[in-house]
Amino acid sequence: MALFDWLFGKSKARKDKALTARAGWAVSENGNPMLIEGSTRITVFQQDRGWKYCISDIEDREEPYFSEAYSDKREAQEEALARLRGEPARHPPHSASYVENRRERWEAQIRDRAQLIEEIQRYLSENSDLSITALRKPEAKVTSHLNQLEWQIAEYRRAGVSVDLITIAEKQKPALTRLAKEISSRIDAKLAQRPPRKALVSDSQLSSDLARKVDELIRLFADKPVMDENERELLYRQTTRATTAKMLDEGITYGQASGAPEFLNQDEESFRIFMKQADQDLGWQCDTVTDSFNRYLETGEIPAPHYPMRIAILLRKAKDFDREKRFLEVWCKHFPSGNGATYTRLVERAKKSGAIPLKTHV
C-alpha cells in the first residue's frame, strides 16, 4: 500500500520518496533491479556506459519502452518511476551533449535529404534517355532513404527535432515514392526495349546431392502459401516482444534470445573468414536459406537477401540455368520486394532470367 500511495497518492518529501522507491525494488534472476506495479514491469540494467530502464507490460500487450542511458542506477530508477507517473524528468541522460548533437545531426539529415531530392528530380528532368546503369545510382539512393524514413521520423520526434523540419521530412516520403516509381518505370521500359536474349541451355555441373538439396529448397518455397503482410507484421511484433522479454529476463543478447544462427555470433574478423568460405558452398547456402525461411514462417522475420543471391550466383556458375530460374521464381513469389538494394537485384535477376515477367508500358 505504501508503494501505491507513493506512486499515485499524497505528495511527500523527496527523501521519503527515494526511501519508498528503494524499498519497492526487487532483484531479478540476473541481478537487475526490478519493480512490478500491477501489470507493468520496470527493469533497470547497465548498458552503453551507463544505466537504462525498460518499462514493459507483463502480458506483452504493448511495445516495451527503452530509455536513454543515465549516469547511475539510482538516476535510472528515479527516471523510470517519474515516467510511469507522468512527472517531469529529474535527471538529464548520461550525455546531454550527445542528445543535442543527435538532434542537430537529424536536422542536418532532413536538410540534406531535401537537397538530394531536388538534385535527383533535376537530374531526371534534364536527362530523358538515361541508360539502366545511369539510373541505378539514383535508384539506390532513393530506395535507401525510403526504407529508413519511417523509423527515422519517429527518432526525429524523440530527439526533439523542430516541428517544421519533421513536417518537411513527412512530405519527403511521397516525393521519394514518386521518384522511385519514375526510376523503376524507366528501367523497366529500357529492359523491355532490349532484344530477347538467346535462351541459356543448362549443362549442369552440380553433383546429384547438391541438385537434390536445391530441388528440396525450391519445393519448400513452392509448397508454402504466400503470407499475408498484415499477418506477417502481427507475427513479427509478437515475436519481437517475446524476444525482448527473454533478453531482459535472462540477461542475454537479442541475437541469443531470438535464436539467431550461431555463425552470426562471431567477432568481425572470424566472421569475414567464415563467410569467404561459405559464400562458395552451395550446400551451406541452401541449408541457411531453408532455416531462415522456416524461421520466417514462425516469426515473420524476412530472410536476409545475401544467401539467396549466393544460391543464384552459384547455380549460374554451375551452368544450371533451369534451377536458377526456378529458384528465383519461388523466391520472388514470397518476397517480390524488400528493404535494400540486394532484394531489388534479386528481382532484377529474376526478370532477366525469365523467372518473372517484365512490366509492360504503354
Q: What is the pLDDT of residue 359?
A: 58
Q: Do residues 292 and 310 touch, judged by C-beta distance below 8 A?
A: no
Contacts of 329 (CB under 8 A, 6+ apart): 350, 355, 356
Q: What is the pLDDT of residue 21?
A: 44
Measured distance CA(2)–CA(17) in Å, rounded:
10
Q: What is the pLDDT of residue 362?
A: 34
Distance of CA 94 to the CA centre of its chain: 26
Q: What is the pLDDT of residue 201?
A: 58
Q: What is the pLDDT of residue 198?
A: 61
DSSP readout, 64-118? Answer: -EE---BSSHHHHHHHHHHHHHTPPP-S--S-HHHHHHHHHHHHHHHHHHHHHHH
Q: What is the pLDDT of residue 129?
A: 92
Q: What are phi and psi of 201, to 5 degrees?
A: -100, 120
Measured distance CA(236)–CA(242) in Å, rounded:
10
Query: Shortest CA distance to 133 belongs to which of 176, 180, 187?
Result: 187
Evaluated on CA atoms 138, 140, 144, 147, the torsion sign reads positive
Q: Where are the domains of the chain?
A: 2-85, 96-193, 208-353
Within 10 angstroms of residue 98's Cβ, the number of other Cβ atoms is 13
Q: Do residues 306 and 321 touch, judged by C-beta distance below 8 A?
A: no
Measured distance CA(247)–CA(267) in Å, rounded:
20
- Single-letter amino acid, residue 337: S
Q: What is the pLDDT of residue 200?
A: 57
Measured distance CA(290)–CA(288) in Å, rounded:
5
Residue 262 per-residue DSSP state: G
Q: What is the pLDDT of residue 4?
A: 42
pLDDT tens, per residue, the chain with 362 residues: 444 444 444 444 444 344 334 457 888 877 889 998 878 889 999 876 789 999 988 776 677 888 888 888 999 999 999 888 888 888 887 766 566 777 888 999 999 999 999 999 999 999 999 998 899 889 888 988 887 888 888 888 888 899 999 999 999 999 999 999 999 899 888 888 877 666 555 677 899 999 999 999 999 999 999 999 899 999 988 988 888 888 877 777 777 777 878 777 777 788 888 888 999 999 999 999 999 999 999 999 999 899 999 999 999 999 999 999 999 999 999 998 766 778 888 988 998 888 887 653 33
Q: Do residues 268 and 65 touch, judged by C-beta distance below 8 A?
A: no
Measured distance CA(135)–CA(179) in Å, rounded:
11
pTM of the model: 0.53
- Single-letter amino acid, residue 326: R
Cell numbers at 137, concatenated: 545510382
